Structures are given as C-alpha cells and as structure tokens.
Structure 1
Amino acid sequence: MDVSLEMVISYFFLVVVFLVNLGDGQKYDCPELSCGSSGLPIRFPFRLNSQPEYLCGYPGFNLSCTHRNETVLELPNSVKLFVKKINYVSQVIQLTDAQHCLPGTLRGLDISSSPFQFRNVPEYEYSFDNYTFFSCSLEERKVHDSCIPCLSGPNHQVCAFHSSCSFDYLPNFVPNCTKIYDIPQIPRDIVFGGQNFLELKWFTPACGHCEVQGKKCRLKKNRRKSRTECFPEQSKGASLRLRNVGAIVGSFLLVLLVFVVVRVYRYDKIEKQNQTKIKLFLEDYKNFKPTRYSYADIKRITSGFTEKLGQGTYGTVFKGKLSNEIHVAVKILNPSKGNGEEFINEVGTIGKIHHVNVVRLVGFCADGFRRALVYEFLPNNSLEKFIGSADTNNCFLGWEKLQDIAIGIAKGVEYLHQGCDQRILHFDIKPHNVLLDNNFNPKISDFGLAKLCSKDQSLVSMTTIKGTMGYIAPEVFSRNFGNVSCKADVYSFGMLLLEVVGGRKNTDLTLEKNSQVYFPEWIYNLLEENDDVRLLVEDDGDAEIAKKLAIVGLWCIQWHPMDRPSMKLVVQMLEGEGENLTMPPNPFTSSIGPTRIKASMHPRRVNQELEVIPESE
C-alpha cells in the first residue's frame, strides 16, 4: 500500500465536505435574516422568499424585500403593506402603506383567508364592521363627516358608511353618490380615525411562550402536522457545529496516524531490506581490508561533525582525523536517498582499486540505518575551485600544471576502464569530483553512480539517466546516438577539458540579447579561425598547451561514441606534442551565422552496432 501526503489531503477534504453536508442536513432552525443591515429581524414563523419554503417559516408568513431594503408583507387579494414592527412575544405585526391611506390600500382585502386577525385593543376602541365606500360629487362644496380626506379629490369626495345602513336616506346626506367598493370587517378607527398604521395578530403558530423563555421556535420534523417546538437559542446549531468540527479533526488525526504508521512500516521494511543487502555485500567484501567503523567511531573521528567540508545529493562531507598526523574526509550518506546502492557502489569500487589518481577509501560505517564512507583527506579541495576566468588570477594554476592534472585524470579514468579486474564506468566525471592533494595531483572521487561490467564487454544497459547536466553523453539521453559504454566517461572528460580551457562551467550557456552560443562550438570556432583559446596567457608555450587541451576535448565530445577515442589514446594525445594533433570533424552546424549556433548530429558510421550487455551485479 503506497500512501502519499496528497492522498491524505484528498481524503481529509472529502471527509470535511461529507461532514459539513451532513451537518447542514441535520439543521432544523433557519438563520435569522433581515432586509439590509438595519432591517427588522426575520425569523420563524416568518421567512424571506429567498429561504427554502419546506424548511423555514410557516404558511402565509412570507416576507420580501424591496430595492430600498423595506420589508413587505403580502395579504390576500394582492394587498401589500410595509412592515414597521414585529413583536414575537405578543405575536403582533405592525403594518403601514406607502400612500398613508389605509382605507384605499385595503380595498379588496379579505382578512378571513389570512392567518392574521385585526388586533382588538380595548383602549383603541376598535370595533369591526363592514363598510361600503361611495364616490360623491361636491355640488354644494359641503364635506360630510363620514367622508375620507385621503381618498377625496377637488371635485369629489369618498365617504364610507356601514354596509347595514339603508341606502334610501343616503342622498339626503350626500347627493349624487355612487357605490365603488366594500371592505368587510375593518376597524372603525382605520376608516374614520385617520390611523396610518395597522396592527395584525396571529395565534397559529403559537411561539410567544418560547420567546418569553428566551428561546426560539421552529417546526418539528417527522410529523404529519406542522407542529412547533421551543429550542435554546443557537444551542442546537452550536453543538452540531462542534460535533462536526470534532468529527473532522478526529477523522484527520486518524488518517494522519494511519499515514504515519504505514510510512514508518514501509520505511522500516525498506531499511531492513537495505541492511540485509549491505550485510551480504560486506560479508563478501571483508577480504579487501578497508577498516569498518561504528557510528560512535565516526562521531569521534569528526569531533561530533563540527567541520563541514561540503554537501551533495547523497550526503554531507565532514573533516576528521584518525590521529594528529592523519586527516580524513568523512561522507555521511543520507538515509532517505537511494536504496543502499550509493554505499555499495562506493565501497565496492573504490575499496577494490588502488591508483595514484583515484581517491583512497580508508574505511566505512554500516551501523543500522547509519552509513558513512571515510576517505583520505585532500587539502586543496576539488579542481572546480581552480577553474576560472581572467579575473581569478589568484586561483589559476598555470597551463603546465593544468596539463599535468588533465593527464592524471585521464590515467585515472583509463585505469578504471582497463586496469581493474572488472571495467568500472564512473558516469560522473566532472571538475567537482576531481580532488587535488598537496602537490595538486588529481584523484577521481565520488563513485556513487559507477557501474561494473566485465572487461571483454564494452556496453551496459541503463534504465535511468546518470550523471550531471552538461557532462552527460548524448547516448545516455537517447539511444539514437549509440549504446551506452565506457565512451560516456570519455565524453564527460572531454567536457571537463573544455571547461579547463574556457575557464567556465559547461552546465551554463552563454546568453546574449538575441543569440545563444553553444560553448564547445565556441571553442571549435576559435581553433578554426586560429584565435587564441587561452583566457590566461603567459607565453607562447602556454598557447600550445591550451590548444592541445582544446583539440583533445573536442575529439572526446564527438556526438557518436564510436567517433571518440579510447582513454588510452587520450593519454597518448595529451602526453604527445600538440602540433601532431589534427582537428576533429566539426559536429556542429550554424543555422544563423556565427552568433546563433545549434549542435547537430554528426553522420553516424555504419556497421558499428555493438551488443548490449547487462551491467554486472
């Protein structure tokens, strides 16, 4: 079971969504709303039209908001009134109209089909009657006391009379009258008292007692009839949210615990497999005699890892000493990198070989999951430190010394290819992996990517790209250039030589505003035009050395492996006279003049296919 952090996060997200949705489905109360920030509080039994009808409010208690955030109640027969107050304790709602003329607004109202009733307040002397409204002319400009000013006009007046009155005597009071409409069961004070607000009361649902207790009211669920119940304000929602949060956090912690347990189990299983692999290797290796140290010895040798020399992909290097005279470099391997192959490669290759140009393995540590390698200490650091441009004269070693270093590296690589019982392919030749002793003698180091094959075979099969960008041979990237062999190290060595000549890193490209120059071709163009390839010049002899190093480097970086010389031939070329060297074929073509240059494939030789063989275990 392969559990990743992304899977844990995805599972946690799904749990959150599920529980939040579950919690929302269990809520019985609806949130209190309002029309605007300063509007009246709207809660059960009322509901805004934006709330779900099946969940919130009671039938007939629908409210809406105007564009000016005014609260509106619609009564039967499309009578719409503005809500001024809502008293949830006494269950009374106070209404008004926009024209401030309720007798006209309430025209056609039938309160009997509404859940509300007119409020009967004794001190207001409310009495409810049926009234008939007449429109009468003003021939004598006399206004009757039964007429309503807000409905009357300059040429007529509207009067209201009890519907039970005999219409025979009406002309005696107001002549020329015509009936216009009836309003049943309306308070007298609304008709004749000039009251500009209306108070309605509701009895169902009965929620006033809940408000008196400081509680809220809501519909009961799972009932055939719409019954109500009281509940403490926000207690249900708060406890539900608390349960949801607890469930979410608990689920996440549970998943996190499972994730940690699985990762620890997998790491422990893999580490045990690595330790078993290393143990079997060390049992076969014990005859080669490098000293085996415990982790306590490593801490003592490095004085508790106090002096750090450098850090790489697979580990950190510290300075240590075996005695006052013998100093060492201790590489602590990262337990999270590789699967033990880095350790086995280092010990299995360096421990078996002894050459003046290969760093010597003094000992190793394989103490549980802690692994370390102990090398001879080389005080002048790596060759990379001494490769620079013209503004770094203090680090420049001189062309004769650089030639000696190049020859030493070439002899070291040749020894790996031909001088051991098994052929060793380094796969990471670069200035950083060439260390220099007190006399600036080079020693090849870092065999973490090395592969072994028998001497009578020349190729290895590879499933992954190995090496450092800028030094990796083309065939390692694509088999269109040929099969992977020891010529991959020749290519890397060639790039190292060009870096020595050019005084720059091959992992970079020279970028200009409108052009991009491939660094090896820049060297090739200088040679073709008989320009000086040196960046630091002392005399004519230096110029010949620089030219020789450049020509050998260009031979080594030919695109196809079969076009490159062997390391034995490279040593002979470096040790010989520069004037005897011929320029290699140009593997580059320029598509847009001398400033924008791209490398192209050199035509491949035919009938040079080689059999691919697996690397040795």
Structure 2
Amino acid sequence: MWWVRVILVLLLPFTCRASTDQQHSCPASSCGKISNISYPFRLKDDPIHCGDRRYELSCENNVTTLYLYSSKYHVKSINYNNFTIRLVDSGIQQDNCSSLPLNSLSQSNFCVRYNYLDKHCTDPYQSVLHNILLFEYIVYLNCSHQVTNNQKYVDTVPCFGWNSKSKGYYIYAMAGDLIAEDFQVGCHVELVAPTSWLGNLQAIEIVSYDQMHKVLVYGFEITWFLHMCQTRCGDTRFCSFNTTTQKLECNRLCRSSLFGGWSNRCGWSELTLYAKDTIIAVWLGLFEMIKGPNQIYDGETVYQVGLATGHYVLPSFLAARFLFGMTLFIALLIYKWRKRHLSMFEYIEMYLQQQNNLIPIGYSYKEIKKMAKGFKDKLGEGGFGTVFKGNLRSGPCVAIKMLASSKGNGQDFISEVATIGRIHHLNVVQLIGFCAEGSKRALVYDFMPNGSLDKYIFSKEGSVNISYNQIFDISIGVARGISYLHHGCEMKILHFDIKPHNILLDENFTPKVSDFGLAKLYPVQNSIITMTAARGTIGYMAPELFYKNLGGVSYKADVYSFGMLLMEMAGRRKNLNPHAEHSSQLYFPLWIYDQVEKVGDIEMEDTTEEEKKIVKKMIIVALWCIQLKPNDRPTMSKVVEMLEGDVESLEIPPKPLLYPQETVVDDQRTTFDQTTSSDYTSSYDSGEIVNASLIENID
C-alpha cells in the first residue's frame, strides 16, 4: 500500500543515522606501515558497515594501495588532523632512479582546483586545501632535438642511459609548471607527475634527475576535506578549519531543536535533533491520513505543519526528486558524449589556461560571447574566421576573431598564441587574449578604429584620401614591424600574408601588422624552411612558393609581399589592372620600372617635388623587394634603412621578372585564372580576392 512506502521513506533517516554510527565505531585497520586506517577509510576486507566505500583501500603484498582514477598508487601516510593522504606512483622504486611514473595526473583531474569550487563536486578527493594547491609537477618532455639553451630542461640520460641521438629523440624532465616561455619547439609533454616536495627543492639549484627522482619517491598529497565538511556541516560554504585548535568548524546559525533556540555551532547532535523534530511533525500530520482526525493534536501548530507536509510537500518532493534524477542522468549522458568528442589535446589547453603568468589572457567561450555582445557587430570575414567588435570589462574596444574549425594539432595553436602574445612592438597588433575551449578557437586583439590600409590607398567609392607623407610614414612602420618579426623575437615569425587588408591603422594612423592565421614559427638560425603547400594571397605571394627551382622558401617571401604592398601604396592602385587602356600598363611594376629607368621621373598629377621624391624612393625600394630570386632581395632591416635614407643614394635594380626563365613559352601572351588558396584570410574588413590574369612576356 502507498502509506507503507511513506513510512519507509520517513524511517530512512533513522536507518542512515544508525549506519553512520556503525561506520565511526569500527576499530582501526592496518596494512604494512599504515596502522591507523579508520573512518572514512576502510580496507577491502573490512566489515561492510565500516568506513565509506568511496575511500576503500587495498592491502596488496603487505602494501596499502589506493586506486585513483583507475590508476594504482601506494599509500605513504594518512594525516587525520589536516585530512590529507600522501601517495606515490606504483611505478616509482626508491632505489632505482630509472623507474618512471606509470600514470599522468594533474589538478585538472579533480573537480575542485585552485581558486575554483564546484558546488556539485562528487569526487572523493581534492587537490586544494584552504585555497592552497597541495602538489606541483615533474613534467616529462619528449623532444626531437637536444635542448641546450634552457637550464630547466634536466637530462634523464644519467638514470635511463638509453636516451641518445641514435634513438631520434631526447627525454627531459622539468620541475614545476611548464610555462609558455619554457615551451620549446619540437618538444611535447609526455607525462605529468605530481609531487608535494618541490618546495624543498626550490631553495637549491636542481642539477640532476636523481634529485627529481627523490622528489617523486616522497610522493604527493590530496585531501578529503570536502567530504568531512559535507558530513559534519552539510554545506561546504559554511565549513572552515581552525588552525589554532586543529578542528573543523561550521560557521552558520542552525536550529538545535524544533521547539528550541538558534545556535552558532552546527554540531552532529544539533543537526540530528533538528531532523528528528521535523520528522515527528510529519508523523503527527500523517496520523489524520492513516487513522482519521485526531482531536488531541488538532490545535497544535506542529500537527498542522505535518498535515500540510503529508498532503502537499512530500508528494511534491518525491516528484521533484524524480525529475531531478532524470535531469541529472540526461546531463551525465550529454557530458560523457561531449567528453568523448573533445579534442585530443584538451589536457594541454586546460594546462596552459591554468598558468597564472601566461600572456595573453585565457578566456572562456562564455566570456568571449559576453565581450562580443552575442556576436552582433561584425567587422569582417575570411577563410580562417570572422571578426567581431567587442569590449573588455574595463571598457576598451577589442577585435574578436572567431576562427573556423581548426586544422592539425591544437598544440601548434597554443604555441603560436603563447609566442605571438609576447610580441610588444609599435607596428605589430597586440594580442590581448585567446579562447581554447573544446572546438572553440578565438583571438582577442586591440581594436583599430581606422580599419585596414586598403580603403585609403585604392580609389573606390567611400575611400578616404591621405597625403603621400602619411603613406610614406605608414610604409616605414610596416617595414619595421615585419623586420621585428623576422629578427627581433626569440623565434623567427614568417607572416606569409602581407597585404593592405592585413595592415591596420590606429587612431593616429600608426600601422599595425595583423592576422597571423598563416604565420609560421621557426628557430632564428633556420634560413630555409620546409613548405608542404603554397600559402598567402594571389598577387602578393613570392614566386618561390610556386617555382621550386628558384630556391627554398625563407623570410624573403615576406620581403616580396612587402614590395608588392609598397608598390600599391606608391601608385595608389592595384598592381594587376586588367582594365588598363594600354597593355604595357597591365602589370604596374613593369610599367613604372620603365618610367623610372627611361624617364628618370614619374608622371604624377597634383603632386609636389617633395612628394615625387617620396614616391620614387618607395618605388625603387619596392622594385628591389620584388626581384625574382630570393637572394637578390634585401632583408627587411635593409629595407628600413633604404626607406629612411636619401633617394639619390639608391640604385635602380634590374628589371623584375615575372617567372623563371626556363618556364618561358613561345606564345607572346599567356593567361591563367588565379584563385586564392584555402588558407586565405582577411583582417577587420572583408578583403577583395584578386581574380585576374597575369601577363607573361610583357615587353
């Protein structure tokens, strides 16, 4: 009958109380060196009512063992005063420094992490106690090359012996967190092992892997403090640990009895009395439902409360409990499905976002969406993503680029963010932050109110005229920015997409090189790089990206793109003009070369002599930059020097060619349609995609 079920539900709290008392009354167990195993811990062979099954330990070969997240750890000690347990990876052997941890573990495995508390956390253990992280890391890295310029990379050869160049890789270990500036190209994280003894090592210099092995032998600590708070106080928000008395305290008002007063201490007995009085009230009210009206209690308020509870509250509670259980079950299914479909490099993303000193700032997707106000103000769109205008919480405007579905290894994205985020140059756009959450990728840049350069140098409806002096200042700024990318950073950054749409202007018309969607990072000593596919925008791409017989691809590809950009800035027109009146003017660089070489001057209307000198200087430098062979082009630092010098000191370069001599055909004129590659991307404004015909063999 239905009322039998109600009675069973009401009797359940008393059954739980008796069970809890039995859990606490069990004698302590022991295994090996651990002799004080008591509540909430239990051994697998203890009576079923002893301890909490979530804190079950095993005794294997007289060694106390804990299985944490399906991984095996040996228990070194249990501290019931501060609620911590110290563990050691089962793969670590005390007298064998070549023994490695079998498991990778970090604070991201726990639902309660540094400065973050999940109210619905069900994990039995946590990595944080009183807002202090209980352990740090020993990070193992697999590198494709030998690392000699970073003292934090400790070689493991003295212990392992088998790590050598003949194997094709190198294994290093690093104490502490792996911050972005320590991340070497060609290295990836192989294993993360926790330890609670790194604080002792930081006082001395770590010079050998043997020291790190001793740290791993010591082990790491985790806590069950949250469980004790929930058991004794019922809510972790009102729970604290008194370091003076070494006791756990509940800091809130609670009812000691239904007919009594209020107390500022919520002990176990007070909570039990309160629950008991509440259950009695419900029992009194249910008498009317079971045996009919009872005149003895008819005037009692507690009777009326119990009656209302039996009639309305209890059925509503049971219905709500069912709905909550179903919702939780569905949410669990969704969580499991999403976790299975997350990117394979999720751990690295979470790890970098937890670094306090990482620049730029890591944002969540929710924060990005809030900044962009729901992605309503669209600034531009390209093959790599869409750019929206947004605002930081402090007020300044930013440009938020939401990247399309990322390709390749997500670790490359993080490495790029960590490197470009540390670029601080007047002529390179500042990367403020990023988002790497699941499949969501976003970059947050400074907002440039004057937009991109193309609307100032190309004559079209709505374009804004600026003076040649301003154009010249912009060209020098762009050259300085590219030169910094090539020679001013720890890593050589090749942009591969220099064009007017990727040059942004701030409120003072200071140019900023932007959009690193196609950029590649290489060690400074590398002069030639390996490319698997051409990248960039047609009309600005260097010929060696198409013709392999010109030589390898290097930073000179950016020099060529800058030359094409500089030519368009000087002429205020596209380099390719299929609608020109004369065929000799179709390809502007060749036509302007003839003007400079034969006439010695440039035909320009409404310009002063000083402006003509500026334009002539820009054109001569541009002609040097677009030489067919990479070796014939100057470096960007030389380009800056040429632009800042006198025009009289500049020599006119050889006439630029459009193609290698061995590809010349007999036809006087051959055309082919060009389209941009799939790597094409634009900045704030949606860039025009040049689709024109190149004219080969122009006399």
TM-score of the two chains, using structure 2 as the length reference: 0.44
TM-score of the two chains, using structure 1 as the length reference: 0.49
